[in-house]
Amino acid sequence: MARIMNCDGSWVEVDLGRLRGNVEAIRSSLGGAELITVIKSDAYGHGLESVAAALGRFGVARFAVAYVAEASAVRAAAPQAALILVLGAACPREVPRMLRDRITPVVVSAEHGRALSDAAVAAGGRLGVHVKLDTGMGRLGFVCPVETEQAAGIARLPGLEVQGVCTHFAMVEPEKKPTAARGQAEKFRQALPALEAAAGKRLFRHMSSSRAALLLPECDQDAVRIGISLYGYGAAEKDKRFATVPVLQWKSRVIQVKKVPAGFAVGYYSSYKTAAPTDLATISCGYTDGYQRHLGNKGQVLVGGKRRPVVRRVSM
């Protein structure tokens, strides 16, 4: 169990045993594809350093984050990692750090590639990179097919070694737009010959994130990037390829319990009134801790393993 936050009245616990179980469930479903664990944004709020270290102990060798600083933290926590991929547009001034910590950025444009290459040459090194293709997300990457040749040109830059190629799906639910993801996958496949010819080798390929891994196993490629499902969330309600369970619990303390009569007004603006004699518990947690105000008279908590309603407006 990893305790990663203490706000006096409330704290978060991450069950590393459950995390291990999720990793094993995902791995066993992937066949020959490798697992890239996405631990950006403080491992989705679960604690980057402790999660990275635990995943390293579980034998995970490939990680993805959003920023170079996160990648360096992963390298410190999991020094044996074979791949630490920066999914955002890494700044060229961070190249010395990436060379030192064996961090692999994605290249998202010709200009970005040239800047990274120039910085690597100036630092006396050659930086391993993955080329990011925009096959329909409209976010980072070379637009396919119109910029495929520019993407291939990254392999000719002296300071870079192209090791992989990736893309990201905008939508994978077949019932919503059945051809969207497959159209993106086809653009990705059509771009591969030019990129691999320029690189002079077969590149490490990945395009599926959690939803695609669940719903489109035919798009696995060499690896899949699993983020939200690693922590037990975002899985489809049906047709699951793998099942994961939540690993995080947010806990607090009951600091007072009192008996109140029927018709008793509770909270600011008397936002709740008891319909019968009631045991009323006050919990040491509010919106200052991040418990959202709109959950007043809507939310639920577990007290002694039993669901109890949140009544009145949520206080600070």
- The Cα 49–Cα 132 span in angstroms is 26
The token pair at 18 is 């459950």
How many residues are there in the chain? 316
Q: Which residues are catalytic?
A: 40, 268
- The Cα 287–Cα 308 span in angstroms is 18
Strands 223-226 and 204-208: parallel
Strands 300-303 and 62-65: unpaired
